Every structure is written in C-alpha cells, then in structure tokens.
Amino acid sequence: MFTPAAGIRVYLALGKTDMRKSINGLSIEVESSLSLDPFSGHLFVFTNRRRNILKILYWDRNGFCLWQKRLEKHRFRWPHSPDGVAEIEGRKLLWLLEGLDIRQIEGHGSLKYATLI
C-alpha cells in the first residue's frame, strides 16, 4: 500500500500520459508540461487514456522512485480535464487509489485555532 507522508504535496497530471514513459520521461513531463520541480520530493501522479494504470513519481533524498498500480478490471475515477495540473491532499490520493471519486467526496475541513491573548 502506498501512503504519502504528512506535508507532502500531491499533483495530478490531468491529461493522459504515455505509460511507456519511465523515470526520465515522466520527470521531463513534470518540468516541461506541469512547470514544477521534479526534485521537490512531492508526488506527481499520472494516468493513461484508459485510466487503468497510475504512476507516481517522486524524488527520495538521492534518487527518483516510481510507483505503479494497474487495475485489471476497473478504472480510476480521474478528474476530467484535457490537460493541466491539480493539487490534492494525500488522503485524496488514497481515496483515488481505492477507486473513490475525489470530486464527490469531501471530508471534514481543517480547523485553525489561535489564542486570544
């Protein structure tokens, strides 16, 4: 099971991606198409046209890591957009991996408190 650490940003590449690409090709996509830094340590998530393969690229201290999940029967419920990038929370990535539609699910919002002194 893939679980992102707290404080890690998750970026979805909203268009379709050629899943023949590996670390080098996907890191170039992050830099050129998404205009983001592939060495940031954040997670960059890609899917194919059929939405049955998902790849996650990230930099881990001294090298890139590439994680892949292929669904044998179902499809990932990916946000519909021809291109661009969307930032989601780590928990929403877990929901996406479980097959949930992240556009329809919303958990309790975060609360921020400050002292009144």
CA 58 to chain centre: 10
pLDDT tens digits, residue range 10-60? 999 998 999 999 999 999 999 999 999 999 999 999 999 999 999 999 999
E strand or H helix at 86, and its extent?
A: strand 85-88
pLDDT confidence of residue 89: 87
Decide if 81 is inside a domain: yes
Decide if 77 is inside a domain: yes
Q: What is the DSSP string of 22-60?
A: -HHHHHHHHHHTS---TTSS-EEEEE-TTS-EEEEEEE-
Residue of 62 and 6 predicted with greater confidence: 62
pLDDT confidence of residue 13: 94
CA pair distance 89, 8, nearest whole angstrom: 8
Query: What are the C-alpha distances in Å from 61 to residues 3, 41, 42, 64, 116?
Result: 17, 8, 12, 8, 41
Please report which confidence band the pLDDT of residue 95 belongs to, taking 50, 70 and 90 as the band edges: confident
Structural domain harbouring 66: 10-97
CA pair distance 29, 25, nearest whole angstrom: 6
The number of domains in the chain is 1
Please report which confidence band the pLDDT of residue 107 belongs to, taking 50, 70 and 90 as the band edges: low
Decide if 112 is inside a domain: no
Decide if 64 is inside a domain: yes
Decide if 102 is inside a domain: no
Decide if 4 is inside a domain: no
Decide if 5 is inside a domain: no
Please choose, from the candidates 111, 112, 90, 117, the residue with its C-alpha nearest in 3D space to the C-alpha of residue 102.
Answer: 90
